[in-house]
Structure 1
Amino acid sequence: MGYTRHPSCNPPGTDDPDKIWRYMDFTQLVSLLENDELYFPRADSLEDPFEGSLPVSHKNNVREEIFNEKSVNWAVQHLPKFRKICRKFTFLSCWHMNRGESAAMWDIYLKSNQGICIQSTIDDLIEGLNTEYNVYLSKVKYIDYTDAKIPGWTGLGDTISPFIYKRESFKHESEVRAIIHELPWHYSDEGGKITSEDIGDEDLEEGDYESGKTVDVDLDRLINSIRVSPQAQPWVAELTEDVCETYGLGADFVVDSPMEREPYH
């Protein structure tokens, strides 16, 4: 399996920057190199509480959006709980899409001056995945959750669209995300969509859920280069080079951040 196209997703195109960046702590890099695995945390474990939610306008118009009339009353009553459960079966690997490093992303996502950034490309992320899961890829779209609507959302049968939208206040992230979206319900024969008949009351009860999923990756393909935080001490870069050599990547994978350069004048 691995990368799979999904009609609701919006993968990067030829006009988008090809480079993508994953900002992480040094310990996360060591875990990646040690296990040859990319970690996909559960959607509801991320910092944004709006992950996978619907804008207010959908709540007000749910009767118009649920095409199966038998599901209308069920959706009005249970849709918030249904969306909450969907977040527990969705796992995300989030990347910053940009032609170069981002000072804002260094500041926001790194808790210390020992931060690391992996640079890859869309194609190398796709080709580097080695997994039995279907992994979808989409750029994130940014909207106002107070009055906008998710254009692709068509009721219970479209469970993934809410995960490719975020609030406008996150627009600086310029995010592209890899998505594992595996719901526990069996689809009905009505156009391949979930209806209220497919979901029992027990399916909406809280239970034990995976905190995340790990996906095997080809590190030589996935990682184009590794950058060390411009605020890091020299020993951090030296240690990163040693770690890369230990795990077979080679010290030349660690390159100087252009943000460390002195001005010309």
Structure 2
Amino acid sequence: MDFTKFVSMLESRSLYFPRADKLEDPFEGSLTAEQVGHRKDSLEGYPNEWIEELLPKFRRICTRHTFLNCWHMNDGESAAMWDLYLKADQGICIESTYESLIESIDDEQDIFVSKIQYIDYESRIPPGWGADGHIGDTITPFTHKRTSYEHEQELRAIIHDLPWHSEEGEREITPDEIRSSDLDESAYEPGRSVNVDLSELIEGIHVSPESDKWIRDLLVDVCEKYEIDPDLVAQSKIGENPSF
């Protein structure tokens, strides 16, 4: 994240979950081409409106009610991830663990955490989606991505808050509800914040390999202000000079 987002996280003591369709991958929440083909076969005899319009619109509605917080899993820093997601020389990388992420969440929202599985979206139906193209739940498309994103090695926390879910359980959404649903972006919240215990979450703070020393010094001061252990702040080792 950039420096301002880091300070915002400290100030709000929360993690931000942008809406799924706000992320850069337009395939978020979509089905594979193979699955869509099977779906058409399995629904033969249904009205074309249901197959061609309502089901695709239903999937887009799901993206409007799904919020994602994404992490890169690795034993060390990734030069590629710094280059891909850093827009300036003042970037910050937060280090944590799966267990610490889970334990740090201090919020009543239902949150599902999963590793992403990477598959060929042209020729594969993911395991558990059924040979006929049906899926047993609506969250599964958000736990899979195309193999072109495999370099991300992603772990994501997911809020999947569909309007037809309630404390009484899940009900089927009707065709009329799908028809009347507004897909205009302004009709939906752009993201959600989730309260976290930052002292539990943060196990390290890595400063961009391109940043000057004063950025690290500033981060130390900011961490002290927000009662985060300043010893957690370290310059990225990717920028170190080689030995010959």
**What TM-score results when the alignment is normalised by the length of structure 2?**
0.89
Post-superposition Cα deviations, 1:13-71, rounded to whole Å, max 9, x if no partner, equal xxxxxxxxxxx1111100000110100000000011000101111211115667xx989
Letter in 1 for 2:243: Y
1:186 is displaced (CA, Å) by: 4.3
Residue 52 (structure 1) aligned to one of 29, 36, 43: 29
Change (3 A) 1:91 1:178: same
Query: When the two structures are superposed, what TM-score results if normalisation uses the length of structure 1?
Result: 0.82
Q: Matches of 1:118 and 1:199 in 2, distance apart?
A: 45
Distance 1:25 1:203 in 2: 39
Partner of 1:250: 229
- Describe the shift of the 1:186–1:234 C-alpha distance in structure 2 as closer, same or farther (beyond 3 A): closer
Q: Is the 8 A contact 1:142 1:165 kept in 2?
A: yes
2:242 corresponds in structure 1 to 263
Partner of 1:38: 15
* Coordinate RMSD, CA, aligned: 2.4
Change beyond 3 A, Cα 1:32–1:181: same
Q: Does the C-alpha gap of structure 1 residues 122 and 65 become closer, same or farther in structure 2, counting only changes over 3 Å?
A: farther
- Alpha-carbon distance in structure 2 between the residues aligned to 1:169 and 1:100: 21
Aligned residue in 1 for 2:111:
135
Match of 1:21 in 2: none
| Runs of at least 5 residues in structure 1 that lack an aligned partner in the other structure | 1-23
Work out the CA distance in 1 between the residues paired with 2:233 and 2:242. 22
Change over 3 Å in CA distance of 1:242–1:196 after alignment to 2: closer
Confirm or deny: 8 A CA contact 1:244 1:250 kept in the other structure. Answer: yes
Query: Structure 1, residues 158-211: CA drift from partner, whole Å, max 9, x if none?
Result: 100100111111100000000000100148x9xx76545486245533251010
**What is the rounded CA distance, in whole Å, between the counterparts of 1:225 and 1:71 in structure 2?**
55
2:123 matched to which residue of 1? 147
Q: Residues 164 and 170 of structure 2 are in contact (CA less than 8 Å); yes or no, is this contact kept in structure 1?
A: no
Identify the residue that residue 4 of structure 1 maps to in structure 2. Answer: none
Using the TM superposition, name which of 218-227 and 192-201 deviates more: 192-201
Deviation, 1:145, is 1.2
Q: In the aligned structure 1, how far is the partner of 2:27 from the partner of 2:7? A: 30
TM-superposed CA distance for 1:253, in Å, is: 1.7
Percent identity, aligned pairs only, is 49
Within 2, Cα distance between the matches of 1:262 and 1:166? 36
How many positions carry a matched residue from both structures? 237
Q: Between 169-178 and 248-257, report the one with greater CA deviation.
A: 248-257
The one-letter code of the counterpart of 2:126 is: I
Query: Paired residue for 1:119, among 78, 83, 95?
Result: 95
Say whether 1:213 aligns with 2:189: no
- In structure 2, how many angstroms separate the alpha carbons of the residues matched to 1:186 and 1:256? 45
Amino acid at match of 2:157: A
Q: Deviations over 1:90-110 (max 9, x none)?
A: 000000000011000000000
One-letter code of the match for 1:85?
I
Name 1:95's counterpart in structure 2.
71
The correspondence of residues 229-244 of structure 1 with structure 2, limited to 5 A, is: 229-244=208-223
Unmatched runs of 5 consecutive residues or more in structure 2: none
Code of the aligned partner of 1:58: Q
Secondary structure at the counterpart of residue 241 of structure 2 = coil
